[in-house]
């Protein structure tokens, strides 16, 4: 029993970077901003690797974007993914377009499982996985998590949080939902999106980085796939959110209480 898994690795602004809007609202200031793999995608790659280590199989990593997106695919290959596919596309892209490309890839590669991050930390849309599942009429398990903490023994041993059934035909997924946790069993092939507590992604080792350079990274033009990529989600204008005015430091609990009680009147 082995699993062929397709994972995504989107190039996004480093979450530690300070994001500022251009004065004309046409985009964000990219000077001095660092880029990295979307943190939720790192978790997706890690989970795919753990499943492969336990059950055997292959991990294919895909990204859509300009030539710089190859960096994120190489990062996933350095973590241990087997091969990469870069779909070259410059300009804006929305979840409708991303899912159209991934659907084409699904038809070509016929994986058992597609794992995506639940959202990318730039557009914060949380749509691509669900939209892809709808296009392909596949079952979906979003916001995959696990019941053990990230400090647990299972996590130290890099046990996968997604549990494959004994017959290899379905996957049990613990999901983070409002009010608690839910478990779903999805028949394969299926689409899974990752939440933060599914795992702690590994760092690429130096030998891993060296090996990654020799791994296959196929490039193809998005236009060659015959999918419509003109954005349907049209960003008309960006702006900075209203800022809060600076507050005051209080000397002690006595003063804090009198401020909350007398001034703000919230307690």
Partner 1 sequence: MANVLIVAEQFGGAVRKATLHALSAGREVARRTGGTLHVAVLGSGIGPVAEELAGYGAEVHAADAAVLEHPLAEAHAPVVAELARAVEATHVGAAATAFGKDLLPRVAGLLEAAMATEVLGFGGEGAEVTFRRPMWAGNVLAEVALATPVKVFTVRATEFPAAAKEGKGAVTAAQVSVDAGALRTRYAGFTEVKSARPELTEARIVVAGGRGTKGDFKPIEALADELNAAVGASRAAVDAGWVPNDWQVGQTGKVVAPELYVAAGISGAIQHLAGMKGSKVIVAVNKDPDAPIFQLADYGLVADLFKALPELAEKLKKSR
Residues 22-81 that bind partner 1 (CB under 8 A): 28
101 belongs to the binding site for partner 1 (CB under 8 A): no
CB of 64: closest distance to partner 1 in angstroms? 17
Contact predicate 19/33, CB 8 Å: yes
224 belongs to the binding site for partner 1 (CB under 8 A): no
166 belongs to the binding site for partner 1 (CB under 8 A): no
Question: Residue 55 — φ and ψ, nearest 5°?
Answer: -115, -10
| First-last CA distance in the chain | 61
Question: Residue 3 — φ and ψ, nearest 5°?
Answer: -120, 130
Helix (H) or strand (E) holding 107: helix 95-109
Name the one residue in this structure whose structure tokens are 């978790």: 43
Among 75, 143, 199, 212, binds partner 1 (CB under 8 A): 143
Contact predicate 144/160, CB 8 Å: no
Q: Which stretch binds partner 1 (CB under 8 A): 63-71, 76-84, 105-113, 143-151?
A: 143-151
Q: Which stretch binds partner 1 (CB under 8 A): 50-58, 61-69, 184-192, 215-223?
A: 184-192
Q: Which stretch binds partner 1 (CB under 8 A): 67-75, 84-92, 174-182, 206-214?
A: 174-182
177 belongs to the binding site for partner 1 (CB under 8 A): yes
Among 24, 31, 124, 153, binds partner 1 (CB under 8 A): 124
Provide the angle, in degrees to the nearest 10, between the axes of the packed helices 95-109 and 128-136: 50
186 belongs to the binding site for partner 1 (CB under 8 A): yes
Tell me 150's DSSP state: T
- The SS3 call for residue 140 is strand
CB of 173: closest distance to partner 1 in angstroms? 9
Provide the mask over 199-218, with x wherever binding to partner 1 is found by CB under 8 A and - wherever it is not: --------------------
List all residues 6 or more positions away from 142 whose beta carbon is below 8 Å from its beta carbon: 118, 129, 130, 175, 192, 193
CA 32, chain centre distance (Å): 23
Q: Which stretch binds partner 1 (CB under 8 A): 65-73, 193-201, 202-210, 217-225?
A: 193-201
Q: Which stretch binds partner 1 (CB under 8 A): 62-70, 76-84, 106-114, 238-246?
A: 238-246
172 belongs to the binding site for partner 1 (CB under 8 A): yes
Among 51, 77, 138, 192, binds partner 1 (CB under 8 A): 138
111 belongs to the binding site for partner 1 (CB under 8 A): no
Contact predicate 63/8, CB 8 Å: yes
Question: Residue 52 — φ and ψ, nearest 5°?
Answer: -65, -40
Among 122, 159, 211, 220, binds partner 1 (CB under 8 A): 122
Subset of residues 246 to 265 that bind partner 1, contact rule: CB under 8 A: 246-250, 252-254, 256-257, 259-261, 264
8 belongs to the binding site for partner 1 (CB under 8 A): no
Rounded CA separation 22/29 (Å)? 6
Contact predicate 60/83, CB 8 Å: yes
């Amino acid at each position: 029993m082995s699993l062929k898994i397709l994972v995504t690795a989107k190039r996004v602004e480093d979450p530690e970077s300070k994001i500022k809007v251009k004065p004309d609202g046409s985009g964000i200031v990219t000077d001095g901003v660092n880029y990295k793999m979307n943190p939720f995608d790192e978790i997706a790659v890690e989970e795919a690797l753990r499943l492969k280590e336990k059950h055997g199989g292959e991990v294919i990593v895909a990204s859509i974007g300009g030539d710089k997106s190859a960096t994120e695919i190489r990062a996933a290959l350095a973590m241990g993914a087997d091969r990469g596919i870069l779909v070259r596309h410059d300009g804006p892209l929305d979840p409708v377009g991303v899912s159209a490309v991934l659907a084409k890839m699904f038809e070509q590669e016929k994986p058992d499982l597609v794992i995506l991050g639940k959202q990318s930390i730039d557009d914060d849309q949380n749509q691509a996985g669900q939209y892809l599942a709808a296009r392909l009429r596949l079952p979906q398990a979003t916001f995959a998590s696990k019941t053990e903490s990230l400090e647990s023994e299972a996590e130290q041993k890099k046990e996968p949080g997604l549990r494959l059934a004994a017959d290899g035909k379905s996957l049990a997924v613990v999901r983070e939902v409002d009010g608690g946790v839910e478990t779903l069993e999805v028949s394969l092939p299926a689409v899974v999106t990752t939440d933060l507590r599914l795992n702690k992604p590994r760092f690429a080792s130096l030998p891993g980085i060296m090996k990654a350079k020799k791994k296959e990274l196929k490039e193809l033009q998005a236009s060659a796939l015959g999918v419509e990529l003109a954005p349907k989600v049209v960003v008309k204008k960006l702006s900075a959110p209203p800022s809060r005015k600076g507050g005051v430091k209080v000397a002690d609990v006595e003063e804090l209480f009198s401020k909350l009680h007398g001034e703000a009147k919230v307690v």
